[in-house]
Amino acid sequence: MDNLNTNRIGEVIDTSTTDFTAQSYQLYNTPALGALVKTGEGENTIYAAVYHATTSSIEPGRKPIARGQDAASEEDIYAQSPQLSKLLRSEFSCLILGYRGQGQICHWLPPRPAHIHSFTETCTPEETAEFSRSFGFLNILINSELPVPADEVTAACLRQLAAAAPDKQSFLVKAGKELARILPGQYQRLKVILERIQL
């Protein structure tokens, strides 16, 4: 166990050119909305932002039932029914924002999708800072068609990336200027995103 990567959080179970879904190794242990994650290795490393997460039954069509009427806490429910952790699973879906090719990070879609069973890891602050040195990935975020509002995911992603930037305020100011360039004439969208990244 000592040689396992401690950033490893899950495994790809569904994949395409534009996104992938990973199952968490631990129930409810999904990355935050907008967090930068990666899958693959070396020149096949793909970077993506988390845009959706779910926890549900492992059996399609079979919903969990309420169990806590007499329990003092949520923890008590799981302690009294330890099998629950085996009957539920947490998954998170990730929008691909770029990949590593020829030694550098490219902010466009990779030539091939991730592999099923590829490990998914959280990016270190150093990797996150390297990925966000430029804002080429913002076009993918802004123009994505997701089951959740793309503006919310964009703002969440920028907040996550700013946390790893050497100068958070400077990063957010540059991101705001880039968004203004990408969204000409879309004042309301720009306003919503800027409010959520707290410029």
Predicted pLDDT at 2: 45
What pTM was estimated for this model as a whole? 0.90
Location of structure tokens 């990925």 = 131
Distance between CA 15 and CA 121 in Å, rounded?
A: 16
Predicted pLDDT at 78: 87
H helices then E strands: how many in the chain?
7, 7
Pairing of strands 19-24, 36-39: unpaired
Distance between CA 38 and CA 176 in Å, rounded?
A: 25
Inter-residue contact 150 to 185 (CB < 8 Å): no
Q: Provide the CB-side half-sphere exposure for 124 (13 A, CA).
A: 5
As averages over each run of 10 residues, the pLDDT of the chain (199 residues) reads 72 97 96 96 91 93 84 88 88 97 91 96 93 94 93 96 93 95 93 88
Predicted pLDDT at 199: 57
Locate 75 and state its tokens: 């923890």
Cα dihedral value 164, 167, 171, 174, nearest 10: -160
